[in-house]
Amino acid sequence: MKVCVLGAGAWGTALAIHLAINTEVTLWARDTSHLSGMKKSRSNPKYLGDFKFPDLLTLQDNFKEAVLGCDFILSAIPTAGFRNILKELKNIDVNIPILWANKGLEASSAKLPFEVMGDEFGSSENNKRSWGVLSGPSFAAELIRGLPTAVTIATNDEGFSNKIAPLFHHNNMRSYIGNDIVGVCVGGALKNVIAIAAGISDGMGFGNNARAALITRGLNEIKIFGLKIGSTAETFSGLSGMGDLVLTCTGEYSRNREVGLRLARGESLKGILEGLGHVAEGVYTAKEVAKRAISLGIDMPITNEINNVLFHAKPAQEAVLDLIERPIKQEA
């Protein structure tokens, strides 16, 4: 079997290296200078340090050549560029199964990756093409160091799941399978917003109690949103729900938590994003989820406050205190 991994950021590269231990992998990157540097070093120092590529991993900057001949595509392109990649794939006109590992909502449309897939391939194509999502509590820096990692693979085709899950399930990675694509996408996207809130709380020294409350109530917001658009409740107690949320709200490698920590120190959002060097999906996800929650008629107070801090100049401490001072309500 041959896999084409799209996107040579930290996560795409880590997944490509993991797969290439046992499987032939082509890693595609659009940036030719980045690709040239990786070819010379046989590593990705820009995003992942000096971890060497296995012999089964090859590099390619020609999209069509990378895709043709592979058995399935694993997209690790940021959500902002996901639709363009799908359009390029449509132009090639091949029915190759797609698994994506990007998390977030598309700017302006507020659509999750599975909805973008539906837009681009339509209902008739949806019935023919196998697709799905890989998600879970997984930092690239830990996977690449051989530390234990578990992920969920949810697809619209059980046969596809059974075929590809073993490719990931070896060495330090364990894979689970399911079919709740909606829930896995929701969990992976919305946890980044709650992680910004947790970072703000930690940065202000509000302690463990406050962080635990934000995680718990944040999970409730994620579940309410997910159920409203068709996911199942059980998904949010799993790896792509609670698992990913806890990791992103507490882990040292969490870019979204880092955004919150630096906001609490009074840094500007523009300066934070320029200094990260990586995409922090939660920033623009907060705006899109807050907007979409209104159209869905659901209450998401943590998400709304983070949106206010990020885009409406509300002081971070004031936002946290406003959450604490909300009226008493039934816990649900």
Q: Is residue 203 part of a domain?
A: yes
Task: Judge if 187 and 60 occupy the same domain.
Answer: no
Residue 332 is assigned to a structural domain of this protein: no
Same domain, 167 and 265: no
pLDDT the model gives residue 107 = 81
The domain boundary, picked from 179, 195, 212, lies at 179
Residue 182: which of 155, 215, 219 has the closest Cα? 155
Supply the pLDDT for residue 108.
74
Q: Give me the domain span that covers residue 149.
A: 2-179
Q: What is the pLDDT of residue 127?
A: 56
Examine the domain organization and report whether 202 and 67 are in the same domain.
no
**Domain contains 201:** yes
Residue-wise pLDDT for 88-134, tens only, equals 999 997 889 999 999 989 887 889 999 999 999 875 544 578 999 99
Last residue of a domain, one of 125, 149, 179: 179
Asked which of 152, 179, 206 is the last residue of a domain, the reply is 179
- In this prediction, the residues of the chain whose per-residue pLDDT falls under 50 are 125-126
* Nearest-angstrom CA–CA distance, 245 and 228: 19
Same domain, residue pair 187 and 167? no
SS (H, E, C) 9-54: CHHHHHHHHHHCCCCEEEEECCCHHHHHHHHHHCCCHHHHCCCCCC
Residue 331 maps to a domain: no
Are 159 and 58 in the same domain? yes
Cα Rg of the chain, angstroms: 19
Reading the block at residue 128, the tokens are 């023919």
Out of 111, 191, 223, 287, the active site residue is: 191
Q: Is 223 a catalytic residue?
A: no
Q: Give the global pTM.
A: 0.94
Give the domain CATH number at 141: 3.40.50.720
Residues 297 and 216 placed together within one structural domain of the fold:
yes
**Which pLDDT score, from 0 to 100, does residue 128 have?**
75
- CATH, residue 248: 1.10.1040.10
Sequence-separated (6 or more) residues with CB below 8 Å from residue 147: 172
Number of domains in the chain: 2
Residue 95 lies in a domain: yes
* Polymer length in residues for the chain: 332
